[in-house]
Amino acid sequence: MESGVRVFNNMQEVIKYVDNELTEYRKKLGELLRVIEELRARKEHEDKLKRLIESITGKAAEEAAREVTVRLEKITLSVNPSAATELSYFEELAEHINSKVTRLTAIKKDLEKLASIDVEAKVIVFLHDGLPTALIIKTVP
C-alpha cells in the first residue's frame, strides 16, 4: 500500500498501474473470501457444539481455551480467538479491500476519459494508501 508520488510517461501507463492494482486487490479479496467461508463453517460448528453442551448440562458452555482480547493503543490483540472473533477481523479486512476495488474501478473510469485526449504528457500521480488521489499533467514540448 504505497503512499507517495509516481511519475508516468502517459495516461496509458497510469491506467495500466491501476489495472495491476485492481488485479492484486481482487486476488487478495478472493483469497480472503475463501478463508471467511472456512471460518464461517468453523463458527457454525462451534455454535452447534455449544448448543449441544448447553442442552445437555443446562449451563452456558465454556470454551476449552479461553479467548483473551486486549485493546492496545492502536491495535487489538486476540489470543486463542473464537471463530466468531477471527471471522469479524477477516470480514472487516474484506470490506476494506472491496471498498478499495470499488474506488479503483471508479478512478480507472475517470482516467480512461482523460486517456481519450491524445496529448503527449508526463503524468504525476499522488498516491495515498495505494490509491491515486491527484494528478498533475505536464505537457511535453
pLDDT at 63: 57
List, for residues 36-51, the tens digit of each pLDDT value: 999 999 999 988 888 8
Laid out side by side, the sheet with 4-8 consists of 4-8, 121-128, 131-139
Cell (9 digits) for 90? 477477516
* Percentage of the chain lying above the pLDDT 70 cut: 95
pLDDT at 141: 67
pLDDT at 6: 94
Q: Which residue has the higher pLDDT, 93 or 63?
A: 93
List, for residues 12-67, the tens digit of each pLDDT value: 999 999 999 999 999 999 999 999 999 999 999 988 888 887 788 777 766 555 78
List, for residues 108-136, the tens digit of each pLDDT value: 999 998 888 777 789 999 999 889 999 99
Rounded CA separation 78/2 (Å): 27
